[in-house]
Amino acid sequence: MKKLLLLTALLFAITIQAQADYFTDCTRPAGMVLDGNILYFADSGDGSNNGKISKIDISQVTPTRVDIVTGLEYPRALALQGTDLYLLTLSGALYTIDLTQTNPTPVFLQNVTANSTINTRTTYMTLHNGFLYTALLDGGKVIRIPLTNPTTSEDMVTGLQFPHATAHIGDDLYFTDFISGNGTRLFKINITDTNPTPVIVENTLAFGNDIFAVGTDIYTIHGGSAQRITKTDTTASLPTFEETVYTGIDANSVNFLITGNDFYISTFQTPGGRIQKYTTTVLGVSDDKLTTGIAVYPNPVTTEVTVSLENDELIKEVSVFNALGMKVKEIQVNTTSKATVDVSNLSKGIYFLNVKSESKTFTKKIMKH
């Protein structure tokens, strides 16, 4: 079994092609967010008050940097809602930036660490269903901020040691926490619960820094001596294990995002900060779990996709997730081994069908044309 897992990991690893130093016109890039082909990134610079928010066009082979805002103090995390770009600094200052302005000025919203009893840091932020989520690295908790009232916040999880990154799959919030003496672990909570209790998803994430959800998988970048990208199957029995999909990333890798088959990773170091790009077939439509016993057609799909299980096994539920891990459609079945899902109202791109039967869970990637 160990040999099989090793062979599988090697097969995944060789499908990734590194394009080192895709973009080098930066000092210490950190948080990134994508809007179509426009990649916004935070560059902390080489000292206080010379940080920047900039953008590049990733459709270009050699992109040119365009600065949006300058003169910032250690900008770290970004999130985008429409034309509003949210910025979080290392010290916890939260700003909003109106991208429709020619020369936008950041508007201060709050200091998310103001209620912390100790000095703390914030390095990651995600946006999900109208809320910003961030972890207080030294404050031991994960909080969320409603965009309808961004000067307020509420605690989601407390009593943690050194929480880092967050990601979302449906109503589940995934986050990492560095446990002294035990490395980094991956947890999840259900954000609809009144008093959510963390559940361990992965025990050994080594030097896990940032995480990113694709369908029902959580990808993790590991800096330090680990220097790899791993994938965790969230549909597996918990706690699950991580699967290495690539080794040899930069030891200073801190943030990343995934779009299509491309990984963009920022390396936070001086000198030599850069954004690297890795292209893989791992995220392609052909990469499925539990392919035996299920048929999905047509794929690619334009209007309706049919799911069929063998041996007359009944389908209980079919959910559709987008590439960011957000559930965009769900149907209850319970009475047949075949189901048809209308995807005509979905935008073009890659989606994931999560099909639950009475005894198994299948995940299939589909391409919407």
- The mean pLDDT of 47-69, rounded to a whole number, is 91
Local confidence band at 327 (pLDDT 50, 70, 90 cut-offs): confident
CA–CA distance from 113 to each of 89, 90, 124, 154, 356 (Å)? 11, 10, 13, 12, 41
Q: Three-state secondary structure along 32-75?
A: EEEECCEEEEEECCCCCCCEEEEEEECCCCCCCCEEEEEEECCE
**By three-state DSSP, how is residue 12 classified?**
helix
Higher pLDDT, 50 or 242: 50
Judge: domain 21-279, CATH 2.120.10.30: yes
pLDDT of residue 285: 38
- The mean pLDDT of 74-97, rounded to a whole number, is 94
pLDDT of residue 253: 87
Task: Name the average pLDDT for the chain.
Answer: 83
Local confidence band at 196 (pLDDT 50, 70, 90 cut-offs): very high
pLDDT of residue 245: 79
pTM of the predicted protein model = 0.74
**By three-state DSSP, how is residue 296 classified?**
strand
Local confidence band at 342 (pLDDT 50, 70, 90 cut-offs): very high
pLDDT of 332 > 80? The answer is: yes
Local confidence band at 323 (pLDDT 50, 70, 90 cut-offs): low
Lowest mean pLDDT among 74-78, 93-97, 261-265, 349-353: 349-353
DSSP class per residue in 119-170 = ------EEEETTEEEEEETTTTEEEEEETTSTT--EEEE-S-SEEEEEEEET
Q: In this structure, which amino acid lies at residue 22?
A: Y
Q: What is the pLDDT of residues 28-40, one digit of tens each?
A: 999 999 998 999 9
- The mean pLDDT of 132-161, rounded to a whole number, is 92
Question: Which residue ranges does the chain devote to CATH 2.120.10.30?
Answer: 21-279
**By three-state DSSP, how is residue 279 classified?**
strand
pLDDT of 112 > 80? The answer is: yes
pLDDT of 13 > 50? The answer is: no
d(CA 268, CA 164): 15
- The mean pLDDT of 150-163, rounded to a whole number, is 92
Local confidence band at 365 (pLDDT 50, 70, 90 cut-offs): confident
pLDDT of 19 > 60? The answer is: no
Percent of the chain topping pLDDT 90: 39
pLDDT of 11 > 60? The answer is: no
pLDDT of residue 284: 40
Higher pLDDT, 305 or 238: 305
DSSP class per residue in 334-350 = -S-SEEEEE-TTSPSEE
Local confidence band at 286 (pLDDT 50, 70, 90 cut-offs): very low
Local confidence band at 270 (pLDDT 50, 70, 90 cut-offs): low
CA–CA distance from 59 to each of 64, 82, 265 (Å)? 11, 20, 16
- Domain 294-368: CATH architecture, name and number where available: Sandwich (2.60)
d(CA 369, CA 367): 6
pLDDT of residue 14: 36
- The mean pLDDT of 239-265, rounded to a whole number, is 82
Local confidence band at 7 (pLDDT 50, 70, 90 cut-offs): very low
Higher pLDDT, 118 or 46: 46
- The mean pLDDT of 345-360, rounded to a whole number, is 81
Question: Which residue ranges does the chain devote to CATH 2.60.40.3080?
Answer: 294-368
pLDDT of residue 1: 37
Higher pLDDT, 346 or 271: 346
